[in-house]
Structure 1
Amino acid sequence: MTSIVTLIQARTGSSRFPAKILKPVLSQTMLYRMMERVRQSQWAGQIVIATTDLPEDRIIEKICEQNEWECFRGDELDLLTRHYQAAKKYKADIVLKIPSDCPLIDPGIIDKTVQYFMNNSFDYVSNLHPQTYPDGNDVEVMCMDALEYTWATARRDFEREHTTPFIWENKDLFNIGNVKWETGFNYSMSHRFTLDYPEDYQFIGKIFEKLYPSNHQFSLNDILTLLEGEPELMDINAMYAGVNWYRHHLSELQTVSADETRILNDSWK
């Protein structure tokens, strides 16, 4: 039987917004809300919180113990090694990589991405190359062989830090697929549902406050319907729409163009 393991990378250290995943929303941490939504997926398999081995991240391990979640601790900066070692420990055949800064992720998008991977002969599938969903619905799926080869081969710092660039930058080595939003729209640069800055926290908190009490399983469409009725909510973190890590590596990345990221004022980091 094929073993699917979902790895949610999480840590308390952040230069932009320290301990962001521990911030409360409706009496629970952001990490709890993130796990709650991922667990609604039918294809997540075994879910593991992959944190660092730094002393300050012992708190994440404690949260996992309290909630009876699986936890793996590994290298702080070399996330490729952390993901690989966690996948090996849990005997994964297929690995899902989902960052913990996506507490509004739609479980249906996870399922759609995994099913596309399972129904074809891909080594790697994501919904990021190119990205079309609102930022914060990030799903990457890969076979263990691809992850292992990448772990043994990738050398550049950003390839180790971000785990998968070596895969999606080498289409001649891997069979790669991408899931696009079925609406035909591209909201990746306009709608920001991810958690990196205090303003993101305020926005995400508002979404939970307005939708969660009446529907614990609210979807992407529910969020968009809310925003259509209350567009002022998007103003909360609009200054960061389109901001992602690509901006730091445009000179090194071969398959990412400048219009897939946004350069910030230096004072905003």
Structure 2
Amino acid sequence: MLTLIQARRGSSRLPDKVSLDLVGRPLLVRQVERVQQARLAGRVAVITTTEPSDDPLAELCQQYGIEVFRGSALDLLDRHYQAALHFGETEGVVKIPSDCPLIDPAIIDKVLGFFADTKGQYDFVSNLHPATYPDGNDVEAMTFAALETAWREARRPLEREHTTPFFWENPDRFRLANVTWETGLDYSMSHRFTIDYPADYEFIKAVYEALHPANSHFGLDDILTLLKQRPDIYALNADLAGVNWYRNHLDELKTVSTEQTKEKFN
């Protein structure tokens, strides 16, 4: 298994968010640490761009002993495919975005465990269609064969930029499966653990400062317990819950409804 964390320094809303400090280390490094805690993640690497602006990110990875591959800035589908070729992965490839520094390793293992236990039955397995976990626990696993098909045939810009829509937008062509939160709850639109705005950083920073010093392996349950005890932390980015990239492509996506996204109002 090859787990790829896509990252870049450029961001119009929160520039160089991957380098922001989380209890003494860069945010990207903290996320890699959490992904590496997953038993089934296999080889973990960061994939960034060939843009000169991402030279410091590649150097950061080298500094912390993190494997890194550099590819297309805008064609994320190509970047994932070329990275799989580079690392010699011919079976399973996992996509995790770098804006998930609170991702729970146990959730990664649940999705990848299902993918492994049903090997040969599905081309694409994720926990996003529909999503039920708090936003920021994104795990998408695909066979290399499916990735190669998408790389060869996907044409629409959003399919190239976001890597995986070609799978879940073509359920007649690919065998798809979704892993839901075993609690039966759906916090995907009410709890935001991802980072895209300054308020998200304040939230994530507060969670790390509260939990990480005592337990660097803190998980989803620990975070939810903290938020019940500290509603002030939950409130830091609560107004952003439900804001995601879908809102910009509702007229193009066949399988995403308005109930799965919302506009940012401030």
TM class by shorter chain equals over 0.9
> Could you tell me which of 20, 23, 26 is aligned with 1:23?
20
Tell me the SS of whatever aligns to 1:32. Answer: helix
Return the letter of the residue paired with 1:191: H
Structure 2 partner of 1:54: 51
Matched, 1:236 2:233: no
Quote the Cα distance in structure 1 between the aligned partners of 2:162 and 2:252.
13
Q: 1:264: Cα distance to partner? A: 2.2
Matched, 1:78 2:75: yes
Matched, 1:43 2:43: no
CA RMSD between the two structures: 0.7
Q: 1:238: Cα distance to partner? A: 1.2
Structure 2 partner of 1:125: 125
Q: 1:152: Cα distance to partner? A: 0.4
Structure 1 partner of 2:211: 211
Deviation digits for residues 206-258 of structure 1 (CA, Å, limit 9, x no counterpart): 00000001101001000000011111211101121100000001011111110
Return the letter of the residue paired with 1:209: E
Deviation digits for residues 97-139 of structure 1 (CA, Å, limit 9, x no counterpart): 0000000000000000001111111100000000000000000
Matched, 1:12 2:30: no
Tell me the SS of whatever aligns to 1:208. Answer: helix
Report the TM-score when normalising by structure 1.
0.97
Structure 1 partner of 2:140: 140
Structure 2 partner of 1:100: 98
Of residues 168-177 and 60-69 in structure 1, the stretch that sits farther from structure 2 once superposed is 60-69
Q: 1:69: Cα distance to partner? A: 1.3
Structure 2 partner of 1:170: 170
Q: 1:27: Cα distance to partner? A: 1.1
Q: Where do 5+ consecutive residues of structure 1 fail to align?
A: none
Deviation digits for residues 46-94 of structure 1 (CA, Å, limit 9, x no counterpart): 1110000000101111011111211000110100000000011111110
Q: Where do 5+ consecutive residues of structure 2 fail to align?
A: none
Tell me the SS of whatever aligns to 1:191. Answer: coil
